[in-house]
């Protein structure tokens, strides 16, 4: 299968946007951030220099190898939302367009509770839906590669993920943003 390599340029407007949202909840310069679903490291290059420490996991070993090669200063490991390979606590759990790939949300929430600091924040950023500018051409209408069935499956996964966020018993949704992407910020229920 051909990997979709996401752009890894230093996208300052995107970094500023994410930093502006997160800074309402944590002191980013001192924060420990774990990106879940980091792919080839596109957000590590954007945010890594703005936080205390940055780590990333992805279930795809090939993506992790690419990320390690390109960004050796970031701690990348093979892992998944349901099996996070860290025993330490993080201030921010960052799901970058990866939430809808989770197969077992109960396991993912268990792992979130385990590795998130009690005062930490979960930042989930997902595509808005059908009109998103998808990284893969098979999901974009009007491209020769477009596949209607794959788009329908993706939209179904996004809806399943949205329901898992809004109907969970472990975290409160403290903010929901519907701008460039769909963003949810969650904190542990007290």
Task: Please tell me the predicted confidence (pLDDT) of residue 5.
Answer: 54
The contacts of residue 185 (CB under 8 Å, 6+ apart) are 21, 25, 121, 122, 123, 124, 173, 174, 175, 176, 177
| Residue 4 in domain | no
- The span from the CA of 143 to the CA of 169, in Å, is 40
Q: Given pLDDT bands bounded at 50, 70 and 90, which one contains residue 1?
A: very low
Length of the chain: 190
| Residue 1 in domain | no
Query: In Å, how far are 1, 45, 51, 160 from 139, measured between CA atoms?
Result: 16, 26, 33, 18
| φ/ψ of residue 182, rounded to 5 | -90, 120
96 strand-pairing partners? 125
| Residue 5 in domain | no
| Residue 53 in domain | yes
116-134 pLDDT per residue, tens: 999 999 999 999 887 767 8
Provide the number of structural domains found in the chain. Answer: 1
- The span from the CA of 43 to the CA of 66, in Å, is 13
| Residue 160 in domain | yes
User: What is the sign of the dihedral through the CA atoms of 41, 45, 48 and 50?
Assistant: negative
pLDDT at 110 over 70: yes
Range of the domain at 138: 12-188
| Residue 6 in domain | no
CATH number, residue 119: 3.40.50.150
pLDDT at 78 over 70: yes
């Amino acid at each position: 299968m051909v990997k979709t390599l996401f752009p890894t340029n230093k996208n300052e407007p995107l970094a500023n946007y994410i930093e502006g949202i997160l800074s309402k909840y944590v002191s980013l310069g001192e924060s420990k951030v774990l990106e879940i679903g980091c792919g080839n490291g596109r957000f590590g290059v954007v945010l890594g220099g703005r936080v205390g420490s940055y780590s990333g996991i992805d279930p795809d070993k090939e993506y992790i190898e690419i990320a390690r090669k390109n960004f050796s200063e970031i701690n990348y490991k093979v892992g998944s939302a349901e099996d996070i390979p860290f025993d330490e606590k993080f201030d921010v759990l960052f799901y970058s367009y990866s939430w809808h790939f989770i197969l077992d949300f109960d396991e993912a929430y268990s792992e979130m509770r385990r590795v998130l600091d009690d005062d930490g924040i979960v930042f989930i950023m997902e595509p808005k839906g059908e009109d998103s500018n998808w990284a893969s051409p098979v999901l974009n209408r009007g491209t020769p590669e477009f596949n209607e069935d794959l788009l329908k499956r993706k939209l179904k996964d996004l809806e399943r993920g949205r329901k898992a966020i809004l109907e969970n018993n472990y975290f409160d949704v403290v903010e929901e943003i519907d701008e460039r992407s769909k963003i949810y910020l969650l904190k542990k229920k007290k």
